[in-house]
Amino acid sequence: MRSVNIKAVVLCLILVGIASCSQQPSEVQESAADHEPAAVLQPAVQMEFTDPESLTSGGYSIFNETMVDMTWQEIEKAVEEGAIVLLNTAVIEEHGPHMVCGIDSYLGSLWCKLTRRKLEALGVSTVTAPPFYWGINRSSHVFPGTFTVQDGTLESVLHDTFESLKSWGFDRVFTINSHGDGAHNAVIIETIFNRPGMGKFVAFAAQQLDYAGILGGTIFFSLVLIVGNLIVDVLYAVYDPRIQLG
């Protein structure tokens, strides 16, 4: 089984995220006369593919272009080629009156498609696992349409998913998550590294109505979010020459 360049995979994930977040509406063709041409507003990182229409060839199904559309022989061949696996772990939850509840899963599915295309263009064999859309939604669970599971359920099903992939021969799995609940993300990380941490602590505190634990966890995850946003702002200046840190 050939080795995989982990840096290449991580870089592709970063580029896909920047390109997705920076993309301008297609209907905007040019700017006002007293501004620079609209071409200047295009993202510095261009995700170019030979067949962009194939991204929507399967409609809006989040199972399109995943292992669901493969035979077991095709999956076995992917294992023999040393393919890596992309796993969408975004969940289903409310997004206000203007978005459907599955927007996180749809976005994660798109990111998996874009990342797989970019990796395969670099010669890295890649397959996408069926999406994992059950997770923890402590901040929005009171709204209809928001599905939430216990932290133990999330950990067990994720663990069994990884074990299944491992038993087939896959040894590298990358999770792509466009959902931002701190407890959900933390439990995923803790499950991957098999280490207890704040995610399970906060999830358990919420179940037991431990307000001190909930408050402490909220402060912790808020700090993590602030630091994460700061890092993203700095990376934008690194990858986009139009942005300067002031």
**SS3 assignment, position 127:** strand
Q: In Å, what is the CA distance from 224 to each residue of 51, 97, 135, 197, 230? A: 38, 28, 20, 14, 10
Rounded-to-integer distance, Cα 73 and Cα 130, Å: 17
Which pLDDT band holds residue 9 (cuts at 50, 70, 90)?
Answer: low
What is 6-193's CATH topology?
Rossmann fold (3.40.50)
User: Which of 74-78, 136-140, 179-183 comes out lowest in average pLDDT?
Assistant: 179-183
Paired tokens of 112:
């998996």
* Count of residues in the chain: 246
> Quick one: pLDDT band at residue 123, thresholds 50, 70, 90?
very high
Q: What value does the mean pLDDT of the chain take?
A: 76
DSSP state of 54: G
Q: Residue ranges per domain, the chain? A: 6-193
Q: φ and ψ at 53, to 5 degrees? A: -65, -20
- Cβ neighbors of 123 (< 8 A, separation 6 or more) are none
* pLDDT 10s digits, 157-189: 998 999 999 999 999 999 998 886 777 877 787
- 32-46, 63-77, 163-177, 191-205: segment of lowest average pLDDT: 32-46
Q: 2 exposed, middle or buried (CB, 10 Å; 0-12, 13-18, 19+)?
A: exposed
